[in-house]
Structure 1
C-alpha cells in the first residue's frame, strides 16, 4: 500500500525487485503524496478498502511519459544507510539497498504491475532464448548500446563473473545467496562478445530472476573488491548516477545519468533520507518525504487515511510472514515434534490478525 501527494512531476524509472519468494501473496499499501503514482485531481485522496481487492489486483495509476512534466525531486525514505551498496553481498541484501541500486544498475528481467517477468530492453537487444532439451540453456543478446559509466561495454564477461562470484564455489565471496547460480555449469561467450550462453547443470525454473542487479566484471573478479569495494556505488549503468552521499545528514542523492542510452528519467534527482520507520508516516504528513510503503502496518494505514491530500494505492505483493523452527534445539530434534508443531499452527488466525486491520 503506497501513498503520494498531487503533482505530475514525480515519475521515476525503477524496477520491482524480484526475489525468490515462497509463500502467498498479501495485499499491501503504499502511501504517497499524489504524483504520478496517484491519479485524478490534486488532493483527491483516493481511499480503497484493501479487502475489496484480490491478490492479483492493483491500483497503480500508469501514466504516459508525455503526460508528465520534466524535472523535480523525489524524496524517498530509507530505514538505514546501506552498509554496502553491493546487493549481492551478505550485508547488502536489504530492501533499502534495492531501492537505491535499482536506479543505478540493470537487470535482465524486471516485473510488471501484475508481477509477470518481462525482459529488459535497456539491457537486452531481444528476448532471451530458452532451450530445455537436452539441457537447459538460456541465450542472452545484450543491447549494443549498453555500457558502464566509464564507457566500458557491457559484455558476456559481466554475466560470467557475476556467476563466478555468486555460485558458492569460492567461500571468500561473502554472498547473500547462491540460489540459481549454483545450478549453472557455465556462462560463456556466444557468437560475439554481446551474446551470452548460460548452460545449467540442473534445471532451474526461476532463471528469469538471475542476473538482476548486474555488476561490472571488474568488481566481481576478486573477493576483496566484491566484499569491500562497494562502500559507495562504484559505477552506474542506469538512468541515474550518484551525486553525493552525506553520512552526517544521512542522505543519498542521485541525479540523471547523462550517459544513459535509454529514455531519460523524468525526475531530475532522487534524494534518499534515512528516517526511523516509525517516523516515516509523520515525515509524509509534514511533506518531508513524497511517499511511503505502508506494508502491513495497520496503524500507519489508519493515520494515512486522515492526512489531507494523500492518495493510498493498494496492490498485491509477494510478501509473507514465516515462523522459523530451530531444528537444533533439544526439544525440536525429533521430526515428529516439529511436524506436530507445524500442524498446530493456525495459519488462518495469523492471516486474519495480519490482514484484517488493513
Structure 2
C-alpha cells in the first residue's frame, strides 16, 4: 500500500491529474521585455549554507518549497518536482566547464535544436538537407527555418542564431564537440534570415549533430560566450522557460513556455528541480511524495536507505561522462612522455576514487584500476622527484566540483609519499581552460570529460590549432560562399606541438597527423569506435590523461510510475506527478 503523503505539490491532486489529461496548444501572450526576463532570475546568495546547518534546514526548506508553488503560482497550476544533485552556476551546454547531466537536461527543455539525434525538429525547421556543392566546397547543407519559430521574448529564430553559435564554437577555448564546427568554411544567411547555407572544407557525415541547443544571439552576442549563461538562460524556444535559479536554496523553477509555437506544448505548468543534499532528504522527499523522482549521484547508503521505502524502485545509470586527470604538454616539468608516465604510475585510482566519492558502492573505476600503477622504476621516480624539487607540480581543479577537489588533494598526498612535490591550484574551470593551461601556469587538471563515442566527440580530440587566421575566417563567413579554406600547414617538428587555442583534449597536444585523423572520423571513413581506439593508442604512447572515475547515477521513483530521469525530462508531458 502506498503510504500517506503529499498527493500533489500544490495540495490539489485531482486538479493536477485533470490538467495532465487536457492538451491544448500554447496561446502566446504579449512578448515580455528583456528587463522582465532578467527579473525572473533570482540572484544567488553570496553565502552557501554550511554543511552543519544543511541537515537542520532540510525539513524547513522542503516545507517552504512545497508551500511556495501554491503561494507563487496559484493552486490551479499543475506542477511536478524532481530531486537533483546540488548544482553550481554555469548552464552553457557547449562548454566543457558546464558538462553535467543537469545542464544537458535543461538545454533539452528550453533550447531549440536543428536535430535530435538524426531526427529533424519539425517545430524549428521546415527542412535540412544536403544540396549540390560548387567546386572547391566539400559539402553543402541548407537549413530552412520554420515560420513562427520564436524565442520566449517574441524574437524570431533566424540564421543569426546559427551564425552566433558557429562563430563562438570556433573561437572559444574549451567547447564540446567542436570538430564539425571547425570543418565549416562558410555560413551564408538569406531569405530574410530564414535560410542558412553551410559549406564545409571536409565532409561531415554526421552533420545532424550541428546546431544543437541554439542560443538567443540577440540577447547574448555582446557578452563572453563562456559567461553568457553563467547564472541564467534569458530566453527559451522550448516547451519550458527558466523562471528562476536559486542556488542558495538549491532550486530551479521552470515555467511552461506560453509562447511555444510547436505541435505539442507542455501540459505541466511548473517543474521544480530541487537539490538533494543528503541521503535522508532523498528518502524523506520520496516517502512524502514531494518529488516525483530523484536522479542523483550515489552515496554509501543511498540504495540501502531507499530499499526500506518498499514501493520505490531504484536503478543505476552510467552516463558517458568521466572524471579524468589530464597532463599538460605545456608543463615545464612533465615535458616528456616518460615523465608523464612516471607520474601516472604513482596513482592508485581505486583508492583515489573511494576517497574522492566517499563510497565504495556504485563506484566504477575505469579499467578496474590504473594499468600503469607501480610500473616505474626507482630511478624514473627519482628523476621526476628531482624535477619537482624546485618546481612543484600544479594540479588545477575547480573548487565547486567536490569530488574533483578531493581527488586533487588525494593525488597530491599520493605523490608526496613518493617524494614528488605537488600542490593544488583552485580556479574556475573556464579560467583554467582559457588561461592557466595554455599559459603554462598549471601542469595538470582534474575535470569532467565527455566519453560519448560519436564522430563529433572523438574527432574533437584530434582537432587543434585554432589561431587568429581561423578566427578571422569565421568572422567573414556570413559573406557569399566561396571556395573552401586551404588545409592547415602541418608542423615539421616536433612531432607533438602545443596549442594556444585547443579544443578536444586538455593535454593541448597536436601531432602532425591529427588533422587527417579528425577529417577521416568526420567523413565516416574512420568509425567513431576506430577513432576511440586511436585515442587510446596515442594515450598509451604519450601518457596524456588517466581516467579516474566513470560517472554513476541513481534514479529512484514510485513503482507505479513510468520512471524518471534528468535525461528524459523532455518527455514529462504525459507523466503524472505524485
TM-score category by the smaller chain? 0.5 to 0.7
Q: Does structure 1 conserve the Cα–Cα contact (< 8 Å) formed by 2:133 and 2:140?
A: yes
Q: 1:278 to 1:139 in 2, by over 3 A?
A: farther
Query: Unpaired runs of 5+ in structure 2?
Result: 1-5, 9-15, 21-75, 350-364, 371-548, 555-578
Aligned-partner Cα distance in 1 for 2:214–2:254: 19
What secondary structure is seen at the aligned counterpart in 2 of 1:219? helix
Q: Does structure 2 conserve the Cα–Cα contact (< 8 Å) formed by 1:78 and 1:275?
A: yes
What secondary structure is seen at the aligned counterpart in 1 of 2:147? coil
1:323 offset after TM fit, Å?
5.0
Higher relative contact order (CA 8 A, sep 6+): 1
Q: Does structure 2 conserve the Cα–Cα contact (< 8 Å) formed by 1:106 and 1:213?
A: yes
Where does 1:232-311 land on structure 2 (aligned, <5 Å)?
232-262=232-262, 263-276=264-277, 281-286=282-287, 287-293=289-295, 299-311=301-313
Paired position in structure 2 for 1:63? none
Paired position in structure 1 for 2:112? 106
Moved more, 243-252 or 119-128: 243-252
Q: 1:128 to 1:355 in 2, by over 3 A?
A: same
1:74 paired with 2:80, answer yes
1:141 paired with 2:140, answer no
What secondary structure is seen at the aligned counterpart in 1 of 2:162? helix
Paired position in structure 2 for 1:207? 207
Paired position in structure 2 for 1:153? 156
What are the superposed Cα offsets for residues 265-307 of structure 1, whole Å, 9 maximum, x if unpaired?
A: 1222101223337566435544443222356767534444443
Where does 1:1-358 land on structure 2 (aligned, <5 Å)?
72-88=78-94, 92-111=98-117, 117-129=118-130, 134-168=137-171, 176-177=175-176, 179-180=178-179, 181-190=181-190, 193-224=193-224, 227-228=227-228, 231-262=231-262, 263-276=264-277, 281-286=282-287, 287-293=289-295, 299-312=301-314, 317-320=319-322, 322=324, 324-325=326-327, 333-335=335-337, 348-350=367-369
1:129 offset after TM fit, Å?
3.2
What secondary structure is seen at the aligned counterpart in 2 of 1:214? coil
Q: Does structure 1 conserve the Cα–Cα contact (< 8 Å) formed by 2:184 and 2:198?
A: yes
Q: Does structure 1 conserve the Cα–Cα contact (< 8 Å) formed by 2:231 and 2:245?
A: no
Q: Does structure 2 conserve the Cα–Cα contact (< 8 Å) formed by 1:86 and 1:230?
A: yes
Q: 1:278 to 1:213 in 2, by over 3 A?
A: farther
Instruction: Please give the TM-score of this superposition, normalised by the length of structure 2.
Output: 0.41
Aligned-partner Cα distance in 1 for 2:303–2:88: 26
Q: 1:328 to 1:245 in 2, by over 3 A?
A: closer
Q: 1:339 to 1:199 in 2, by over 3 A?
A: farther
Q: Does structure 2 conserve the Cα–Cα contact (< 8 Å) formed by 1:166 and 1:175?
A: no
Q: Does structure 1 conserve the Cα–Cα contact (< 8 Å) formed by 2:146 and 2:194?
A: yes
Q: Does structure 1 conserve the Cα–Cα contact (< 8 Å) formed by 2:124 and 2:146?
A: yes
1:257 offset after TM fit, Å?
1.3
1:309 offset after TM fit, Å?
2.0
Q: 1:95 to 1:131 in 2, by over 3 A?
A: farther
What are the superposed Cα offsets for residues 149-200 of structure 1, whole Å, 9 maximum, x if unpaired?
A: 22221111110111112211xxxx5764471323322221255632211222
Q: 1:279 to 1:158 in 2, by over 3 A?
A: farther
Aligned-partner Cα distance in 1 for 2:102–2:239: 18
What secondary structure is seen at the aligned counterpart in 1 of 2:110? coil
What secondary structure is seen at the aligned counterpart in 1 of 2:168? helix
Higher helix share: 2
What are the superposed Cα offsets for residues 65-92 of structure 1, whole Å, 9 maximum, x if unpaired?
A: xxxxx97322123434442444345754
Instruction: Please give the TM-score of this superposition, normalised by the length of structure 1.
Output: 0.62
Q: Does structure 1 conserve the Cα–Cα contact (< 8 Å) formed by 2:145 and 2:195?
A: yes
What secondary structure is seen at the aligned counterpart in 1 of 2:127? coil
Aligned-partner Cα distance in 1 for 2:304–2:249: 30
1:316 offset after TM fit, Å?
6.4
Query: Unpaired runs of 5+ in structure 1?
Result: 12-69, 112-116
What secondary structure is seen at the aligned counterpart in 1 of 2:161? helix
1:101 offset after TM fit, Å?
3.4
Q: Does structure 1 conserve the Cα–Cα contact (< 8 Å) formed by 2:130 and 2:139?
A: no
Aligned-partner Cα distance in 2 for 1:6–1:213: 35
Aligned-partner Cα distance in 1 for 2:100–2:7: 29
Aligned-partner Cα distance in 2 for 1:329–1:119: 44
What are the superposed Cα offsets for residues 97-155 of structure 1, whole Å, 9 maximum, x if unpaired?
A: 333333221112224xxxxx422222222354377895132222222221112222111
Aligned-partner Cα distance in 2 for 1:74–1:231: 23
1:236 offset after TM fit, Å?
1.4
What are the superposed Cα offsets for residues 237-265 of structure 1, whole Å, 9 maximum, x if unpaired?
A: 11112333445533221121111112121
Aligned-partner Cα distance in 1 for 2:143–2:334: 46
Q: Does structure 2 conserve the Cα–Cα contact (< 8 Å) formed by 1:187 and 1:199?
A: yes
Moved more, 155-164 or 297-306: 297-306
